[in-house]
Structure 1
Amino acid sequence: MTDTGIAVVTGAGRGLGQATSLALAQRGYRVVVAARSSDAAQATVDQITGVGGEAIPLVLDIAAIASIRAARDRLLPMLAETWPGSRIQVLVNNAGVGHFAPLDEVTGDDFDDTFAVNVRGPLFLIQAFAPHLADGARVVSLSSSLSRHVSPATAVYAASKAAVEAMSRSLAPELGRRGIRINTIAPGPTATDFNGGAMRDNTELRLGLGQQTALGRVGEPTEIADAVAALVSEDLRWVTGERIEVSGGVLM
């Protein structure tokens, strides 16, 4: 398999992060599988190596700046030893959390946790890894179609994803000096284990949300993962600072 460089993916122990790690490995990337749980990270590593890819696990709590910096400091020597000469070409900010509640039930803890994971974490992850990215590298952060359309009880989550999009646009000219592209992918309703696996396991919810899309169904994790892989490819080398929605045309 051709070495296309190293890809670091957060929240890669399950759901979209796991699917994205597999999609990138299938395209020749050596994948750093970052997750809060060592067991979850290793499970994804085992899937990748089981199909002939290369991957290593990394324990990382995206909500803690100290954890981000410590993980980076542990990782860099590992990369030099495991994959000497290979550079970090892709950084995917996938780890996220969703606290959904109507206005009168939103708590300060919910707000702080959402923004710590969904906004502060990606910012400081990029800050920590930017000096170690190859020139011409690609950064992708996961947003949500909810940054475009409204839905009850999603104000805090939607605001955090809108902040991620604004952050990416603002960082595009800074990173662009080194040819590094940064974009966001905004998934629509997708059948993952996010939010307790509701869209994956609740048939009635899947059907209802599917009817709100132009293509008549909810998405699958592999469809989001393939979009991330396409965005970091050379085919889209002239795209930066953009939000690309991958939602099957939800609530057009």
Structure 2
Amino acid sequence: MYLQKVSYKRQQVPDSSIYPFNIAWMENFQCLEFPSNVTFFVGENGTGKLTLLEAIADQCDFNTAGGGRNSYFEVDQAESALGEYIRLSWSPKVTKGFFLRAETFYHYASYIDALEDIPSRKYAAYGGKSLHHQSHGESFLSLFNNSFGGKAIYLLDEPEASLSPVRQLSLMKIIKDLEDTAQFIIATHSPILLGYPNATIYNFDNDDLETIRYEETIHYILTKRFLQAPELILKELFQEDEE
């Protein structure tokens, strides 16, 4: 692992009653350790997964709108309010990497298109053609296959957003091929990706950030239950509307 720990500089926070400092788990938050090269953040929407991932990206000097250290474009609501209040502990520090924000990837693709460079050179890291000339899922995999590699840290926010189940398995294979030299921190809702072997999973749903087993995630539990008895699940769900 390169990134060993994230520590919270609580004493420097000006007002802990405002967002994002009032997120439930931040009241008890001191630090988060990374014991494996692949770490997942799981939890419901609004629990602060992206907030922490974005803060880590900020301290890595990645563009918090998405991209790496040399990606110069902006989108609304991409600034990290938490970034200056965390400290990263490295062993050793790496400067190469990428922050994937699924929600802003369109803007990143437009930024690449607008670069004044020879097309064959500026698209080399994306399969040789504009990301806008590929499907959303294809563009994600082009980035993963052609741009990722070496000693680096990759921060991925909901990479499954545009990937079919088969493509999610392809991403797992890419991660496996790179795991010996790269570190991944991934915020996800995907029960497929969460099944990655020997990964660390942090649950953001409670008042403390704690590791949980894959089989304990709500993603695994609900998916398994639905696949075993979809008729029963749908009956229970639709009965609530009728009542």
Coarse TM-score class (shorter-chain normalised): 0.3 to 0.5
User: Normalised by the size of structure 2, how large is the TM-score?
Assistant: 0.34
Larger Rg: 2
User: Normalised by the size of structure 1, how large is the TM-score?
Assistant: 0.33
Structure with a larger share of its residues in helix: 1
Higher relative contact order structure (alpha carbons within 8 Å, sequence separation ≥ 6): 2
